Amino acid sequence: MSQREISARAGLRAERRYLFDMQQEPKQFAERAALIAHVKNISPMLADHMGAEASPIKGGRAAAEAALANIDPIAYGHSRNYLDGAVTRLSSYIRHGILSLNEVRNHALELGDGKAIEKFIQELGWRDFWQRIYAQNPDWLWRDIEEYKTGFCADDYADALPDDIAAGETESAAMNHFIAELKNTGYLHNHARMYLAAYMVHWRRVKWQAGAVFFLEHLLDGDAASNNLSFQWVASTFANKPYFFNLDNLQKFAAMHAPCDYRDNKCFAGTYDDVAMRLFPNMEAL
Ligand SMILES: Cc1cc2nc3c(=O)[nH]c(=O)nc-3n(C[C@H](O)[C@H](O)[C@H](O)COP(=O)(O)OP(=O)(O)OC[C@H]3O[C@@H](n4cnc5c(N)ncnc54)[C@H](O)[C@@H]3O)c2cc1C
């Protein structure tokens, strides 16, 4: 038997053992607190990765149906970019197959005509789009699809995520807020994901792959296609230009949710041109 076959068989045995062990675990708990205590007990190695509390997002079909019943795809269209906008928080149910995109789309169609809910349907389309891109190009997940369009090359970016980002102790109070939220809840609003990803890649000049790993470690909806290809879009390795923002933008969309005052977020201050000149000094005007 070749070394490869021996490794494959060992892998299969380990997987069977894991599935067997999981089947022995209790499935019913009198209350959520008992479930949380049990999961903590059987996963001590996760202690460093988890926030102090379990996520408020509940698992299971009943919780998914309740969340689906609450969506407002019409309000979504004009408020979704604001951190207190009418986003659905359905992502973890969709990611884990508890709700299908089709079911969500059909439910939305019962709540408003096509035009009124167009933006919502388009966003569902993004999930499908990333899955299809991944299925057609599985090797795009972890490698730069194109070069960075930032005036820097990949070697100019650090391989590892700096400790202060991992700990949520950066120079920006808003980013620290998003990092703590990500760790404590396993969820971030799309705009917060874009801000934090851009901060990692463009302000701190860290490879998008390091940021993507950090997100996947903590997101309950963590999905390598949506996550990594979105990171590549922010980074500009899968887009014509980098995504970045300034303090005015952050304050407009996030101040109702995170600490966004100038004093604690100076690194984002200035016009878009000012910020671009600081972040991308080797580039022509964007
Ligand atoms: C850097 C970065 C990392 C991301 N990582 C993930 C990830 O790991 N898993 C994941 O499911 N999504 C990811 N997204 C996409 C998006 O941010 C989330 O799907 C969305 O924020 C989930 O919250 P929601 O359910 O309240 O979304 P809503 O805004 O209410 O949207 C409804 C559903 O549409 C889909 N959707 C909406 N926007 C997007 C989008 N831009 N791309 C793909 N699908 C979308 C999701 O399934 C979502 O649940 C990422 C985006 C960025 C910028």
> Is ligand 1 within 6 A of the CB of residue 144?
no
> Is ligand 1 within 6 A of the CB of residue 214?
no
String of DSSP letters for 112-128: S-TTTTHHHHHHHHHHH
Structural domains of the chain sorted by starting position, each given as residue range(s) with its CATH number in brackets: 154-279 (1.10.579.10)
Residue 185 contacts residue 164 (beta carbons within 8 Å)? no
> Is ligand 1 within 6 A of the CB of residue 190?
yes
190 CA → ligand 1 middle, Å = 6
**Is residue 194 exposed (0-12), middle (13-18) or buried (19+ Cβ within 10 Å)?**
buried
- The model's pTM is 0.92
Q: Which of 20-24, 253-257, 258-262 has the lowest mean pLDDT?
A: 20-24
> Is ligand 1 within 6 A of the CB of residue 124?
yes
- Mean pLDDT within 126-151: 97
Position 113 pLDDT exceeds 80? yes
pLDDT digits (tens, 9 = 90+) for 199-241: 999 999 999 999 999 999 999 999 999 999 999 999 999 999 9
pLDDT band of residue 6 (cuts 50, 70, 90) is confident
What pLDDT does 52 receive? 58
Side-chain half-sphere of 192: how many Cα atoms within 13 Å?
Answer: 28
Reading the block at residue 193, the tokens are 């994901």
236 contacts: CB under 8 Å, gap ≥ 6? 146, 148, 149, 150, 242, 243
Candidate from 132, 182, 221, 236 with most ligand 1 atoms within 8 A of CB, to mutate: 221
168 CA → ligand 1 middle, Å = 22
Q: How far apart are CA 36 and CA 34, in angstroms?
A: 5
Strand partners, 206: 158
Percent residues over pLDDT 90 in the chain: 78
> Is ligand 1 within 6 A of the CB of residue 231?
yes
Candidate from 122, 127, 206 with most ligand 1 atoms within 8 A of CB, to mutate: 127
238 CA → ligand 1 middle, Å = 17
> Is ligand 1 within 6 A of the CB of residue 272?
no
pLDDT band of residue 51 (cuts 50, 70, 90) is low
Q: How far apart are CA 55 and CA 184, in angstroms?
A: 6
